[in-house]
Amino acid sequence: MPAITADTLTLPRIAAPKASDTERPVRSITTGPRGYEGEGFPVVRAFAGVSAADLDPFVHMDQMGEVEYQPGEPRGTDWHPHRGFETVTYMIDGRFAHQDSHGGGGLITDGATQWMTAGSGILHIETPPAELVESGGTFHGIQLWVNLPRTDKFATPKYQAIEGNEAKLLSSQDGGSLVRIIAGEIDGAQGPGATHTPITMAHATVEPGAQLNLPWNRDFNALVYVLSGRGSVGPVGHPIHQGQLAVFGPGDRITVTAEGTQDSNRPALEILLLGGRPIREPVFHYGPFVMNSKAELIQALEDYQSGKFGQIPADALMPHRPFN
């Protein structure tokens, strides 16, 4: 995985637990079903089967790939609308091009994150660049939807480009894990992402046999999704593997341990750590809109159809379809 790497022995270490700290127990482990998104790229529906209350403030997450495309196969999405939440695209391996109707855009590549606040309404596209479509190659990433509270549903749309080398890096106490903080705070270290809803998002690599034990904000929920590899989670050591999501109960710290032996093509346990302060407001979710009522969903659809989300730019990026 080409997401940003570093020598863990030279990084700040996460502090050991205090005597008063409590371990968060595992509340559930679910397996995400596989499906297809956009123009046909494969995804794992990471949050399937998990209650909205356990996920709050998160709404939806897909693991995109990991897939090795042949020439002509890479797919993305065409232009589409969003309102009422933030979309987060984290590219672990490969390249995705983004453009939106409010002037945001760029290339998201190995370890970079695109953070788009849809707010009052936006049109955007995410698609592999033409050269990747022609050549084929590895594609692996995460698409996460973060809800916005009622007070921010109609915020002005915003775009943040977070490069891989901007993530805040930490090492576990035993030096066997690399933690990349994309947004929020872990053990006093702050990630670069600016969010309306208080959350923490991090990608950790846990080497075979190593254990990651880290503090977690008591006011946040706690989720661990396995991108690849095998290991265990929580104080009891519940087994977990690629495509599974662990939901934790209350407490001060999270523990994740990698199995001593991993598959040859999965040399370490790769996990996504997520948590946020629950919004605890009604959620009405329909397609690309996440609102507080059915009436607001209907209004969002009408506003989109009447052109209030902006216009597709004259120089618009479009999906590249090679000549057959």
Q: How far is CA 263 from CA 150, 228, 237, 260, in A?
A: 45, 10, 20, 10
Residue of higher predicted confidence among 316 and 256 = 256
> Is the model's pTM score more than 0.85?
yes
> What pLDDT, in 10s, does the model give residues 81-107?
999 999 999 999 888 888 899 988 888
pLDDT of 188 reads: 96
Give the sign of the dihedral formed by CA 303, CA 309, CA 315, CA 316: negative
Supply φ then ψ for residue 78, to 5 degrees. Answer: -90, 180
Residues contributing to the annotated binding site: 80, 82, 124, 126
What are the residue boundaries of the structural domains of the chain, listed by start? Answer: 26-283+294-303
> What pLDDT, in 10s, does the model give residues 201-212?
999 999 999 999
SS3 content of the chain, % helix, strand, coil (to 5): 10, 45, 45
Which letter, b or e, does each residue of 130-162 get, where b requires 16 or more Cβ atoms within 10 Å of its Cβ?
A: bebbeeebbbbbbbbbbbbeeebbebebbbbbb
Residues contributing to the annotated binding site for Fe cation: 80, 82, 124, 126
In this predicted structure, the answer to whether residue 72 has a pLDDT above a threshold of 80 is no
Task: Decide which of 2.60.120.10, 1.10.3720.10, 3.20.20.60, 2.30.30.40 is the CATH code for 26-283+294-303.
Answer: 2.60.120.10
pLDDT of 127 reads: 83
Which residue intervals of 128-212 are DSSP H helices?
130-135
